[in-house]
Amino acid sequence: MAADEQAPAEIPSIQVATPAEPPPAPADADAEDDDDDEEDDDEVDPAESGLDDAVLGAAEAALAAAEAEDAAEARGEDAEEVPIVLEPEPEPTPDERALHAPHVRPSGEPAEIDPDELDPDALKVVLRLHQHGHQAYMVGGCVRDLLLGRKPKDFDIATSATPNEVRGIFRNCRLIGRRFRLAHVYFKGGKIIEVSTFRANPTELEHAANGGEDEGDGEDLLITHDNVFGTAQQDARRRDFTINGLFYDVAEGRVIDYVRGRRDLDERFIRTIGDPEVRMREDPVRILRAVRFAAKLGLDIESRTYAAMEGAVEDLPRCAPARLLEETFRLIRGGVSAPALKLLDALDALKILLPPVNAYLKQHGKEGEKTFYAFAESLDRRVSAGEALDDAILLAMLLIPISRSTGPEESQEGRPSVSQVVEDLLAGFVQSARLPRRIAERCRMLLLAQRTLSGERRRRSAAFKRHPLFSEALTVFEMTVEATGENREQLEAWKAGEVPQPRAAAADGEESDAGGQRKRRRRRRRRRPSANGSSGESADSSSESGDA
């Protein structure tokens, strides 16, 4: 939690194996794929081609190029190089063995948090810092979750030691961060314990330097620097919400509450620390964090805090796009995308975070809301069940309703394309929000694949089963079936290893009901030239003219 609020978050990179080249099609592939002469007459519109033999090579090349560009950018990150092999921790000294987390406080009362619920590696970091004469507490979300009876996702530590001092104490440590240096202590299995130095709120320090007087209502409170060390109390007060400002003293077995966070936990409220108007103007990303905590923990947002969130929505564009995108992804990854997005819609924040989603909801009204949130709830069920889903899958599930409602288009390069609003959104995320290109490209391909899986695209469907993204596309298709109740027969056929029959609407060339797909156009047959060198069409025209 120490780095969640101010340090810029990097969107996690997802390693994707470079797809193998598809096997060459047999010489008689066209004969095998053509059901009858009438199908051979159907024109294959590039915008309708889905993911089949015609575009497999181009799709794989696009993925490979996206991965190469992401790797080139990653080499320029501002962080110390991670050692390939971390040095093992030395054996504990006799004094260190004596340090422990007591089950009973000095007053004789039981510890406020059972030491058995604490992460043993985080406990080791705290006790080692104590041994070297530093203050160190477990902080933020882990304390909040333990007091709520929930299992923390991770354990963060705040200390009086500077980042360099932390690195000097732990051999298995490296420093990260641009705006604020953080220490990552590594343990077996890739576990990371994040250690931050106590910080002070720069706005409060400037306010105190001015003699406690504000400079005026027009003052720009947006925090652009946060490199000021402080005390434990200052560190608690500079955090966003009272429920995140709780510290746990392991040695004494007690919760340290400088901000009345225990009261708000008991009352199940989310409340800012200090004036909500000021805190939201300092960092409008706190709007998304409040929404995430409300949806994840089932808490209510205190009225003044909610009013300040409404007023600060217009300041969201001033925040770093990468931070906005990462916080949006956290909402989706947490298995609470449906309630979180409903709250963001009520705050009128979707127009900034996900403009196509906002436009879709406004255009389609109640029916559009029902459809969109059915997709979000289907996604939430999978995430809550513990299924690990790629970021491309998460994003694709939220964009499918938009893609279905607008239909496919053809890009200027002539390759198959999803709707232009979706293409623009993905391109904007890559250019301004540092979304890895491979995630954007995979998302686009997953959206295109749904037409092949649903049977709207009927030619060469068997080729798609060889594509590296087939299993992920099928996962998205399965969630789509759960959300809409449509195409169950096609889903069962794909899962059984078969290629389903094309849908009747597609076979008849009729327009699809599920998103206004365009009619198939008939390909005009070429006429053989006549003996006098003129085309058959010209001869027919002359004949018609003569008859007239």
Residue among 411, 410, 517 at smallest CA distance from 454? 517
Residue among 300, 337, 237, 348 at smallest CA distance from 5? 237
The tokens of 74 are what? 């990653």
DSSP-derived 3-state class of residue 465: coil
The tokens of 287 are what? 């709007």
Residue with tokens 């003699």: 211
DSSP 8-state assignment for residue 110: B
- Please list the residues that pair with 185 across neighbouring strands: 173, 193
- Please list the residues that pair with 110 across neighbouring strands: 104
Cα separations (Å) of 262 from 113, 174, 238, 243, 244? 13, 33, 17, 7, 10
Phi, psi (degrees; rounded to nearest 5) at 197:
-85, 145
The tokens of 431 are what? 């250019």
The count of C-alpha atoms lying within 13 angstroms of the C-alpha of 95, restricted to the half-sphere facing its C-beta, is 7
DSSP-derived 3-state class of residue 535: coil
- Please list the residues that pair with 462 across neighbouring strands: none
Count the neighbouring beta carbons within 10 Å of the beta carbon of residue 461: 22
DSSP 8-state assignment for residue 188: G
Q: Where are the alpha helices (DSSP H) in 148-191?
A: 163-169
409 contacts: CB under 8 Å, gap ≥ 6: 47, 417, 418, 419, 420
323 contacts: CB under 8 Å, gap ≥ 6: 8, 9, 285
* 103 close to 81: Cβ distance less than 8 angstroms: no
| Residues assigned a catalytic role | 154, 156, 240
The tokens of 449 are what? 């694949």
Count the neighbouring beta carbons within 10 Å of the beta carbon of residue 319: 18
Phi, psi (degrees; rounded to nearest 5) at 58:
-65, -40
Decide the pairing of beta strands 173-176 and 246-249: unpaired
**Nearest-5° Cα angle at 180, 68 to 88:** 75
Kindly tell me the sign of the dihedral angle through the C-alpha atoms of 456, 462, 465, 468: negative
The tokens of 539 are what? 């001869």
The tokens of 175 are what? 């420093």
